[in-house]
Amino acid sequence: MIKPEHGDEVSHYHHEDLHGGHRIHEHVEYLIGSADWWTLNHTKKLYIKTQEIEHDCTIDLPRKPIVTTHLLASHLLFQSWFLNFTVPFEVVNVDLGKKEQKSPENLANQPFGQIPYIVEDDGFVLYESRAIARYIATKYANQGPKLIPTGDLKKIAKFEQATFAESAHFYDPAFSLLLEIFVKKMQGLTPDEARVKDLKTTLLSKMDVYEQILSKQKYIAGDEITLADIAHLPLASVMPDIGIDITTGRPHLTKWLNELYQRESWQTLKANGLVSTA
């Protein structure tokens, strides 16, 4: 069984019956991009490298099978952001099982030997998913929704506040629960039930605060959607699959999430997975 290293976490799983258990396909993607999108005479591509590793194990989860193409890895959050923009990209296979992310070529672009990162035609390199997402949203703002506020200092400040809140108050406990409940079982380990209980209590208390915020405004940063909202999609969508209910008794939170789930980019990703658009 391949156990992902830190920074090599899985992004989504496909489950299918296999000898009484499930076959799990781990998909890990990273971005290699290109510049000059404004040149009408050229068609540029954004490359996403993908590795599929297949192994067998039996996992006892509250809801089976997990819906395919859920995005589980923190560093793949940008997928849902990326598909909000009309930027073509191509999927290219890479052998993560052979540690190609640790190759000299990749280490030259991402010195920590992790994914994702982008490399543009002019040699510009950027890694860390949130940095990539903000860069894409800013660079291609005229080719998609305005997901980062500009001009109004107070709106910008509220956006920054919301992005930090997502990271500290949602991502941390939600991703920790995912690791404890799902990834440990995938690795043949036993989850720490006391830790699961503590993490669940923490996450639900944070969701109560979200409910208060969303009872007063439509989105986390105000009344306009931003990257801070979309950043919640990958982990929020998989919480029911690991037995964590964050919506019951929280109508405003439920309405907010349901609206996000209905976004065309998210529906496309759920239906088709990450496929080339170039």
Instruction: Look at residues 48, 31, 46, 35 and name the one whose alpha carbon lies nearest to residue 120.
Output: 35
Angstrom distance (rounded) from CA 99 to CA 117: 16
Domain boundaries, the chain: 12-147, 153-265
What string of DSSP letters covers 219-250? BTTBSS--HHHHTTHHHHHHGGGGT---STT-
Q: Which strand ranges, in their side-by-side order, compose the sheet holding 12-18?
A: 12-18, 21-32, 46-57, 89-93
Instruction: Look at residues 136, 133, 123 and name the one whose alpha carbon lies nearest to residue 37.
Output: 136
Angle between helices 251-261 and 193-214 (to 10 degrees): 90
> Consecutive 10-residue runs of the chain (278 residues): their mean pLDDT?
33 29 30 27 35 34 31 40 59 65 85 77 80 82 84 96 96 93 86 97 98 98 94 90 95 97 80 66
Instruction: Look at residues 129, 135, 116, 215 and name the one whose alpha carbon lies nearest to residue 171.
Output: 129
Query: Residue 195 corresponds to which amino acid?
Result: R
What CATH class has 12-147? alpha beta
pLDDT of the residue at 162: 97
Query: Residue 158 corresponds to which amino acid?
Result: K
pLDDT of the residue at 81: 53
Angstrom distance (rounded) from CA 83 to CA 267: 10
Residue 274 · residue 78 · CB < 8 Å: no
CATH number at 153-265: 1.20.1050.10
DSSP label of 5? P
pLDDT of the residue at 134: 86
Angstrom distance (rounded) from CA 233 to CA 133: 14
What pTM was estimated for this model as a whole?
A: 0.71
Residue carrying the six token digits 């993607």 = 29
pLDDT of the residue at 88: 61
pLDDT of the residue at 174: 95
